[in-house]
Amino acid sequence: MSKSKQVSEKDLLPLTPAVFHILLALAAEEKHGYAIMKEVEVNSKGQFRMGPGTLYGSIKRMLELSLIEETDERPDPEMDDQRRRYYKQTPFGAKVLKAELQRFNDLMQVAKSKGALGSI
């Protein structure tokens, strides 16, 4: 995506499930691809699983949109494989995640007001 065209966080909503889960997985700390996949599985209680094709296709798009960036910082070399690429959420990515979470919250309020949640 060209840097000359400014994109706001609301322009990217709603997020795809993969992009949402990747941003959520990177909210607290940087991770490599396999760690992102495992975090997504844990966060979703096994309800959403990403294969490598979905993960790396989404990462490529997210890098282009400046939602995430690759980081040069590495953990302890004895615990790391130099082939791994680490990613972290950008400030813009954090704003997009927050906007999506607000959108979810607004939808939950509507559902609640209509009695659609039942006894949840």
The CATH number that applies at residue 103 is 1.10.10.10
Identify the CA nearest to 58 among candidates 23, 98, 8, 34. Answer: 23
For 67-96, how does the pLDDT look when each residue is reduced to its tens digit (9 = 90+)?
Answer: 999 998 766 666 667 778 999 999 999 999
Domain count of the fold of the chain: 1
For residue 101, how many other CB atoms are within 10 A of its CB? 13
Q: Which two tokens stand for residue 4?
A: 């000359």
Report how far residue 25's alpha carbon sits from residue 86's, in angstroms, rounded to the nearest whole number. Answer: 12
CB within 8 A of 90, min separation 6: which ones? 66, 67, 68, 69
- Indicate the range of 3-7, 15-19, 110-114 predicted with least confidence: 3-7
For the chain, what percent of residues have pLDDT higher than 90?
80
- Domain contains 3: no
Look at residue 1 and tell me if it is in a domain: no
Arithmetic mean of pLDDT, 42-46: 97
**Confidence tier at 25 by pLDDT (50, 70, 90):** very high
Residue 5, in any domain of the structure: no
Structural domain boundaries, residue 92: 12-113
pLDDT digit string (tens) for 90-105? 999 999 999 999 999 9
